[in-house]
Amino acid sequence: MSLSSQILANASEQIIRAAASVKLLVLDVDGVLTDGRLYFSKEGEILKAFNIQDGLGIKLLQSAGVQVGIITGRTSTPTQNRAEELGMNFIVQGRTDKLPALEEKRLQYGLELSEIGFLGDDLPDIKCIQRVGFGICVANAHIALVQIADWQTEKSGGSGAVREVADLILAAQGKLDKIMSCYLI
């Protein structure tokens, strides 16, 4: 059984169709790309830990033609640095009402809402998850998101949830097995 078949085996046809339509994946940061904890150095600098598998998932999506961006309510240098390191298409920080930022990016990229996926974890993400074609929450998301999301990851934020979404999207689009073949002998 191929990796794509394994990943898609437990997904409904509706989820597979939604994931196959994604041209832009938008991510929250704290609780999605990180485990949600904030660390402060002695000097007061904010430190965050990012999952390396999530980073590869973002790069794989980009290599397959799926754009990836960030919309987050907080503003932090570590987030900016990580987004730049991954070559993400955009980063919008300091927007507590994320829906207007999502609409700005949708228009900028000339996409329909049905072509956008959004991955979040808490209340500020609800409006975006409700509006996009593929609304996703992490395993440890607030119950309000679990109730409205199209799909919930098995992994928690900061622990590979983004990679799980990337693999699902790539499998649904028929691109994952070809990508995987580049890594096999």
List of residues 6+ apart from 180 with CB closer than 8 A = 3
- Whether pLDDT at 41 is above 90: no
Q: Give the integer Cα–Cα distance in Å for 32 and 157.
A: 4
Question: Which whole number is the average pLDDT over 27-45?
Answer: 92
Q: Cβ(129)–Cβ(148) under 8 Å?
A: yes
Q: Which pTM does this prediction carry?
A: 0.96
Confidence (pLDDT) at 46? 85
Kindly state the greatest CA–CA separation across the chain. Answer: 52
- Whether pLDDT at 183 is above 90: no
Tens of pLDDT, residues 69-96: 999 999 999 999 999 999 999 999 999 9
Confidence (pLDDT) at 182? 87
Q: Cβ(172)–Cβ(166) under 8 Å?
A: no
Q: Give the integer Cα–Cα distance in Å for 87 and 81.
A: 10
- Whether pLDDT at 113 is above 90: yes
Tens of pLDDT, residues 131-163: 999 999 999 999 999 999 999 999 999 999 999
Rounded alpha-carbon distances, angstroms, from residue 171 to 6, 120, 147: 9, 21, 25
